[in-house]
Structure 1
Amino acid sequence: MRAHEAGVLHAEAGQAVPSWLREPEDVNLMLPQLWARTVERREDGVVAVGGVPVTEIAAEFGTPAYVLDEDDFRARAREYRDAFAGADVFYAGKSFLCKAVVRWIHEEGLHLDVCTGGELAVALAAGFPPERMGLHGNNKSVTELTRAVEAGVGRIVLDSFDELDRLTAIARELGARPKVMIRTKVGVEAHTHAYIATAHEDQKFGLGLDEAAVMAARVLDEDVLELLGFHSHIGSQIFDASAFEVAARRVLGLQAKIRDERGVELPELDLGGGYGMAYTTQDDPIPVPELAERLRKIMEHECAGYGLSEPRLSVEPGRAICGPTTFTLYEVGTVKQVPLDYGASRAYVSVDGGMSDNIRPALYDASYSATIASRASSAAPVLARVVGKHCESGDIVVKDEFLPADVSPGDLLAVPGTGAYARSMASNYNHVPRPPVLAVADGTVRVIVRRETEDDLLRLDVG
């Protein structure tokens, strides 16, 4: 049990930490659901991934660093591919993308979703087949749309009437017939943070159901673009499949409306992604085979209700594939004991990274776990907060965690679950260079995204 659970209540009430938390093994415990599959604490107390101890990784490559378990990444990709056999699985590149990941996705048989010209450039540079790509985004430029059409991107998800006008003009100019989907807002309440809920009306993505029907009619009438179907994405970090049932019902109802009014059964439907992963023990992701089976049954039931032929299903996992594969490895720099109002205290454990390598806790109060990775400890657990080196009070890496009382400068600390949106949202705040991404497989560590240097920062500063 972690500090965000019952133990915090004891500390905040000014009570002693419960006796079961004083056992040395608790501060050394690594719960499997929070870590990549080859990560383990060895008998000497050092955490290892793919058979490589983190002490060796830190000595050779430095800290902070994103440490990625390649075998785990590939296994999760295959799990989605196999569970959704007969459907198209698009890896959501926004969660984390680099050329190595693009190649892994291709080798494991997945499609790829990109949402900017930059992500498209990475995918093309890595040799990913453009016909297996989809292009998202709520404000795709003429340049981005033109490049996608010229490259032969398999589908473009239309997000507005302005974008429809832009793409239609480009298609006419190039003599092309790109395939498109229309993103809809289905009004489903996804139980997640407001910043990552995307299906309610008052937000920037997509069109309401009535507007989507109007756009579909225009696409069919103009006959310049090939309409595949509708796209729905209800949010991120979702643990309840019932929301997808409501979304499917409403989008399939829209497809039935097009059939009844235009005599056209659209061949595809995308229910998006957003499937949750475990950051802490309070998170309970749906097993992938169970998720796939539930979505299949939802499709069967709703299509039968509307008398529709079942369209080909697409899904878009990103975080659920890459998120659990990676931990961030830090070195502890300073430790402060800070008294709290209720008579207890909290250890502020400062590490050599922070909000520049993981903005999610500051952006939407995301929770993480942590463990001392360079050794085991027999010390009692203390309530701790892991913080970064940046000039912000909100520079928090892990808000509440129990760490051993002897946590000290020079210790290595590992934060699991940082494969999604940590590196992809990283910044150079305070002119801190971004960490490398290190892929570990079969006892070998290789750099797939190198560490930035001060020279990199200065190279862009033309004075």
Structure 2
Amino acid sequence: MRAHEAGALHAEGYHGPSWLRPPGDVNELLPQLWARTVRRGSRCGMVKVGGVDVVAIAEQYGTPAYVVDEADFRARAREYAEAFDAAFADLCGGADVYYAGKAFLSTAVARWVVEEGLSLDTCSGGELAVALRAEVPPARIGLHGNNKSDAEIGRALDAGIGRIVLDSLAEVDRVADLAAARGVRAPVLVRVTVGVEAHTHSYIATAHEDQKFGLSLAEGQAGEAVRRVLARPELELRGLHSHIGSQIFDTQGFELAARRVLALHADVAREHGVQMPELDLGGGFGIAYTTEHDPLPVAELAQGLARIVRRECADLGVAVPRISVEPGRAIAGPSTFTLYTVGTIKDVGLDGGGSRRYVAVDGGMSDNIRTALYDADYSATLANRRSDAAPVLSRVVGKHCESGDVVVKDEFLPGDVGPGDLIAVPGTGAYCRSMASQYNHVPRPPVLAVRDGQVRVLLRRETEDDLLALDVG
């Protein structure tokens, strides 16, 4: 249990986490942390993305700003589509990849994922509205949610989306009744809680028993949901769904989850004579936020899951259903960095000796809540120039009225970083803009896509007029 909002700030003799080492070159950009077109210019050392330097971006669009490497985003989406299709080609004719829109979604991004061969997973009426505005083919849209409203379900049915994931017993009849009122048949999957403890933060682990998602396999809820679905002719049972959590770096948890959910798949075929055509194994594939993280290459991940499904289906004596997965972070996360301007610098003494440098920037927890919410780690670099100064252990913090307003807990930055410098934080494409707030009435930053020397605005910067427009008092 943490004793203070700022975490290890008050630890005696604190010198940073064990995985963080003083860099040989404080200007180096580690490839595993950055989008693929990000480079440091050879002359002045400015960071560039898609051929555009960050100083030009800051001058034209201001900071903070989320900067998306469009080519990187598209390449990661395409790699997932191709890797999973190839890995499952001889098992079930390929696999379907649904981009998890909750990671980050805009109309442009929805179009990108479709153009690169993916489908789109939504989990709210707002996300569904974006998908429909982007003209995503309805058959390639899915709808999740543990508490879908009648309006959200009705909109999905009216649009004719490809699948609705049922999350509770009550939802079976609600979806069926709404489908009956429209004279349509709703394609559904049953979300199964398989009782797997994913090795991740408790807030993003989703397959253990004591949490809000899905229908318990151990308590018989999942089997009961299947029976109720089959009893309603307005519903078409497409298959089962399992999601064990997020920021996962191996296939061990997926192996146990697949074994348990495929056992239910086999029971349904045996007891009801129904061969469900689909099985969704969820997403949650991890990315490298720091040098501590070592994610699996996409092809290796796909092949590992294919081996698991092949083995489990063979042991159960069932045909392999069409597999789908739902990466979000793994596609959006590495594609984006957040660009900040430094405001103030403070050196603060620590209990037990030593000191820490606080580098305050013009954003913070309103544009990246993950550090405060999940104790997440990030990296950072001085982005507007190269520095020959010695590295100093620093903490990048925001401008909000909270001591827990930390963006990067620990990073070695050049000792001469000062007001007006630009700091770039990689790996912020997932769950940063999508979870952003207007805390302290700070408008949310823009999202800028950069490709082949061109910058375009995906989401414009909010203004004070936007804030005041909601205030009708």
> What TM-score, normalized to structure 2?
0.93
- SS of equivalent to 1:446: strand
1:48 positional shift: 0.4
- Which of the numbers 148, 152, 155 marks the counterpart of 2:160? 152
- Which of the numbers 231, 238, 241 marks the counterpart of 2:248? 238
- Counterparts of 1:356 and 1:222, CA distance in 2: 45
1:223 positional shift: 2.1
- Which of the numbers 127, 131, 138 marks the counterpart of 1:123? 131
Q: Does 1:98 align with 2:98?
A: no
- SS of equivalent to 2:324: strand
1:187-336 matched pairs, under 5 angstroms: 187-209=195-217, 210-336=220-346
Which residue of the partner structure matches residue 79 of structure 1? 79
- Counterparts of 1:289 and 1:14, CA distance in 2: 39
- Counterparts of 1:280 and 1:173, CA distance in 2: 51
- Counterparts of 2:324 and 2:385, CA distance in 1: 44
1:222 positional shift: 2.1
Residues 441 and 246 of structure 1: is their aligned pair in 2 closer, same or farther, counting only changes over 3 Å? same
AA aligned opposite 1:37? R
- Counterparts of 1:258 and 1:21, CA distance in 2: 53
- Counterparts of 1:21 and 1:84, CA distance in 2: 36
AA aligned opposite 1:35? W
- SS of equivalent to 1:452: coil
- Counterparts of 2:22 and 2:183, CA distance in 1: 71
Paired residues of 1:70 and 1:325 also in contact (CA < 8 A) = yes
- SS of equivalent to 1:28: coil
1:14 positional shift: 7.8
Q: Does 1:435 align with 2:445?
A: yes
Which residue of the partner structure matches residue 29 of structure 1? 28
- Counterparts of 2:445 and 2:329, CA distance in 1: 19
What 5-or-longer segments of structure 1 have no aligned partner? 1-7
Which residue of the partner structure matches residue 140 of structure 1? 148
- SS of equivalent to 1:302: helix
- Counterparts of 2:436 and 2:380, CA distance in 1: 19
| Moved >6 Å (runs of 4+) | 20-23
- C-alpha distance after superposition, 1:377-420 (max 9, x if no partner): 11111111000000000000000111111110000000000000
- Counterparts of 2:231 and 2:465, CA distance in 1: 54
Paired residues of 2:81 and 2:118 also in contact (CA < 8 A) = yes
Paired residues of 1:21 and 1:380 also in contact (CA < 8 A) = no
AA aligned opposite 1:112? L
- C-alpha distance after superposition, 1:15-60 (max 9, x if no partner): 99xxx9777x621111000000000111121100011110000000
What 5-or-longer segments of structure 2 have no aligned partner? 1-7, 86-93
1:142 positional shift: 0.2
Aligned-CA RMSD value: 1.6
Which residue of the partner structure matches residue 5 of structure 1? none
- Counterparts of 1:124 and 1:222, CA distance in 2: 28
> What TM-score, normalized to structure 1?
0.95
- Counterparts of 1:286 and 1:22, CA distance in 2: 25
Which residue of the partner structure matches residue 58 of structure 1? 58
1:184 positional shift: 0.6
- SS of equivalent to 1:188: coil
Paired residues of 1:21 and 1:381 also in contact (CA < 8 A) = no
1:344 positional shift: 0.8
